[in-house]
């Protein structure tokens, strides 16, 4: 009897357990499977092919990583003579990252080196992902795939752009293989990969005249090809060859003769809040002061201005980055520059915003003012007189260092850190300068000089009377300062490690490449640390 009861109850228990059993696959709440999303995207694209723009937008979004002051931008400018971030009392110590960067003493653990690496691999991954998504969406549909080719080509350009930065900054270039598994290209292989990619997509990409503002076009790819060829000998660790230079001149000419671009008549208008109509934009990251898209664009103003240079209380600047005195003095060896005098070069300074914001554009030194015209004082109550000279890189005064305000602050933005200024990453003037440099390198100084003087006259600067490596490098500085080109240029002219400027001695050749971050080395074992680190 008892046994029966036990049996019965046990079977009830067993039933409860079996019925209660779950396969442990609960419902997905805010997540979805890839297939659902792909099917949805395919339907939208079949209905309207421009929906593919959305799919590749994440790859464009990677370009925003070129904006922040602690990201790739710092790797391209902060280690050069154009930009220094001295420690100012309690400010900008940041555990020594700025000094290490400027003095070429970074280590594999350096925060910005790590950041830059991560930003590039994220951008590259977004490009790979966009290509993969479009290919999956097309599937076996060859007609659709053909229609999607231009969009895929945009993503391939962006992948090449991120990869070129790997080549330029780090040498080793991480990629994905055909199975989308992590792989690595050595510097030379990566150059080949990037050139092949770019040359393949040039015919697929639309001419700039028929492409939308902000999108990659044929000339964008040609400009990048010129850039890669101009630096190819550095990447391959050899002397420059005429074949490279011919390629540079050829691609530059393609851009120049396309007729889509011309040197801007108003230099600072190219960096203004509403600069969509710039005639020099080849590759751009678009910002908006009304939407989150513009997030951080004001950084370019905030990072340099003194705390109290706040455009009438709109900004909360950080008093950080400034020019070295060496670079500042290149504009005029007499050192008698104050705001807006002693040089006719329109690139040096501009006072269009002074009446409203009490801020000059370009290089800023001297007494600073409030919007109401009263002189400003610093945090200690001294008159705020910005000096180009910085006495000590480790103990700088808050007023030391010439400020560089290239991108006018957007005082209409919804947040003070947002701004409408679009930021050009490849600019037509660079193409012109690359052509001049290639000609000079081939021995055609006259041709180079006429290009340079044409540029200088547009900018209101006096004509050059001779062309040398130094004048070409300097001209690139005058034209492109703080736009993220400087390190590459200094390396190409052999001055990055060998040159000295405020706060920086001659450094070892090792520093021509950044170190591979420790975290990446330990996570991706194919990587090897660059020699010397």
- Under the binding rule (CB under 8 A), the answer on residue 175 touching other proteins is yes
- Under the binding rule (CB under 8 A), the answer on residue 370 touching other proteins is no
For other proteins, what does the binding mask look like between residues 374 and 393, x meaning CB under 8 A?
---xxxxxx-----------
Burial label, 166 (beta-carbon count in 10 A; 0-12, 13-18, 19+): buried
- Under the binding rule (CB under 8 A), the answer on residue 58 touching other proteins is yes
- Under the binding rule (CB under 8 A), the answer on residue 111 touching other proteins is yes
Burial readout 93-129 (b: 16 or more C-beta within 10 A, e: otherwise): eeeebbbbbbbbebebebbbbbbbbbbbbebbbbbbb
What is the smallest separation between the CB atom of 143 and other proteins, expressed in angstroms?
A: 22
Q: CA-CA distance, 287 to 298, in Å (whole number)?
A: 10
- Under the binding rule (CB under 8 A), the answer on residue 186 touching other proteins is no
What is the smallest separation between the CB atom of 404 and other proteins, expressed in angstroms?
A: 20
Beta bridge partners of 367: 385
Residue 516, C-beta contacts closer than 8 angstroms, at least 6 positions apart:
108, 117, 170, 172, 527, 528, 529, 530, 533
Site for other proteins in 422-481 (CB under 8 A): none
From the list 203-211, 236-244, 455-463, 519-527, the region that binds other proteins by CB under 8 A is 519-527
Q: CA-CA distance, 465 to 198, in Å (whole number)?
A: 37
Which position among 186, 277, 367, 394 is part of the footprint of other proteins (CB under 8 A)? 394
From the list 122-130, 250-258, 259-267, 402-410, the region that binds other proteins by CB under 8 A is 122-130
What is the smallest separation between the CB atom of 429 and other proteins, expressed in angstroms?
A: 25
Pick the closer one to other proteins by CB: 17 or 506. Answer: 17
Which position among 49, 103, 104, 129 is part of the footprint of other proteins (CB under 8 A)? 129
What is the smallest separation between the CB atom of 102 and other proteins, expressed in angstroms?
A: 15
Pick the closer one to other proteins by CB: 19 or 333. Answer: 19
Q: CA-CA distance, 161 to 134, in Å (whole number)?
A: 19
Q: CA-CA distance, 288 to 295, in Å (whole number)?
A: 8
- Contact criterion met (CB below 8 Å) for 198 and 191: no
Which position among 31, 140, 237, 334 is part of the footprint of other proteins (CB under 8 A)? 31
**Is the four-CA dihedral 131, 133, 138, 143 of positive or negative sign?**
negative
What is the smallest separation between the CB atom of 464 and other proteins, expressed in angstroms?
A: 40
From the list 71-79, 358-366, 410-418, 478-486, the region that binds other proteins by CB under 8 A is 410-418
Q: CA-CA distance, 55 to 45, in Å (whole number)?
A: 10
DSSP state of 280: T
C-alpha distances in angstroms, 33 versus 30, 38, 125, 133? 10, 9, 20, 14
Site for other proteins in 300-319 (CB under 8 A): 307, 313, 316
Which position among 11, 200, 209, 214 is part of the footprint of other proteins (CB under 8 A)? 214
Pick the closer one to other proteins by CB: 74 or 490. Answer: 74
- Under the binding rule (CB under 8 A), the answer on residue 70 touching other proteins is yes
What is the smallest separation between the CB atom of 42 and other proteins, expressed in angstroms?
A: 11
Which position among 286, 343, 368, 512 is part of the footprint of other proteins (CB under 8 A)? 286
From the list 129-137, 143-151, 331-339, 458-466, the region that binds other proteins by CB under 8 A is 129-137
- Under the binding rule (CB under 8 A), the answer on residue 41 touching other proteins is yes
- Under the binding rule (CB under 8 A), the answer on residue 288 touching other proteins is yes
- Under the binding rule (CB under 8 A), the answer on residue 211 touching other proteins is no
* β-pair type (361-364, 349-350): antiparallel
Q: Is 283 helix (H, G, I), strand (E, B) or coil?
A: strand
- Under the binding rule (CB under 8 A), the answer on residue 487 touching other proteins is no
Residue 254, C-beta contacts closer than 8 angstroms, at least 6 positions apart:
219, 222
CB neighbours of residue 320 within 10 Å: 23
């Amino acid at each position: 009897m008892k046994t029966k009861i036990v049996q019965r109850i046990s079977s009830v228990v067993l039933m409860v357990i079996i019925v209660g059993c779950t396969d442990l696959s609960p419902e997905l709440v805010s997540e979805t499977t890839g297939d659902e999303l792909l099917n949805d995207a395919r339907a939208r694209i079949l209905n309207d092919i421009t929906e593919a723009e959305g799919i590749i937008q994440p790859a464009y979004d990677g370009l925003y990583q070129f904006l922040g002051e602690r990201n790739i931008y710092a790797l391209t400018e902060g280690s050069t003579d154009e930009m220094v971030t001295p420690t100012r009392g309690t400010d900008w110590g940041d555990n020594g990252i700025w000094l290490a960067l400027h003095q070429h003493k970074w280590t594999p653990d350096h925060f910005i080196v790590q950041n830059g690496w991560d930003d590039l691999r994220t951008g590259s991954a977004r490009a790979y992902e966009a290509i993969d998504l479009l290919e999956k969406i097309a599937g076996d549909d060859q007609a659709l795939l053909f229609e999607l080719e231009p969009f895929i080509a945009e993503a391939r350009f962006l992948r090449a752009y991120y990869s070129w930065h790997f080549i330029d900054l780090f040498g080793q270039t991480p990629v994905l293989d055909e199975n989308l598994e992590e792989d690595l290209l050595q510097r030379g292989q990566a150059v080949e990969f990037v050139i092949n990619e770019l040359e393949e997509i040039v015919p697929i990409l639309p001419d700039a005249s028929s492409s939308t503002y902000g999108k990659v076009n044929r000339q964008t790819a040609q400009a990048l090809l010129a850039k890669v060829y101009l630096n190819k000998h550095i990447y391959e660790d050899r002397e420059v060859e005429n074949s490279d230079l011919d390629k540079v001149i050829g691609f530059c000419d393609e851009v120049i003769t396309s007729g889509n671009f011309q040197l801007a008549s108003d230099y600072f208008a190219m960096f203004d809040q509403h600069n969509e109509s710039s005639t020099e934009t080849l590759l751009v990251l678009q910002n908006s002061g009304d939407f989150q898209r513009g997030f951080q664009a004001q950084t370019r103003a905030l990072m340099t201005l003194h705390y109290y240079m706040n455009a009438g209380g709109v900004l909360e600047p950080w008093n950080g980055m400034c020019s070295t005195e060496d670079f500042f003095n290149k504009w005029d060896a007499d050192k008698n520059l104050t705001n807006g005098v002693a040089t006719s070069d329109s690139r040096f300074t501009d006072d269009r915003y002074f009446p409203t914001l009490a801020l000059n554009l370009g290089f800023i030194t001297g007494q600073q003012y409030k919007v109401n015209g009263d002189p400003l004082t610093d945090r200690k109550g001294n008159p705020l007189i910005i000096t180009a000279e910085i006495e000590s890189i480790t103990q700088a005064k808050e007023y030391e260092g010439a400020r560089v305000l290239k991108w006018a602050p957007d005082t209409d933005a919804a947040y003070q850190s947002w701004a409408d200024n679009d930021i050009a990453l490849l600019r037509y003037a660079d193409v012109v300068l690359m052509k001049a440099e290639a000609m000079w390198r081939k021995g055609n100084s006259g041709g180079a000089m006429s290009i340079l003087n044409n540029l200088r006259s547009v900018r209101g600067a006096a004509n050059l009377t001779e062309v040398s490596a130094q004048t070409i490098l300097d001209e690139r500085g005058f034209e492109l300062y703080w736009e993220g080109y400087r390190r590459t240029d200094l390396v190409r002219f052999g001055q990055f490690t060998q040159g000295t400027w405020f706060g920086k001695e001659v450094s070892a050749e090792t520093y021509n490449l950044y170190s591979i971050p420790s975290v990446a080395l330990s996570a991706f074992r194919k990587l090897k640390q660059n020699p010397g680190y």
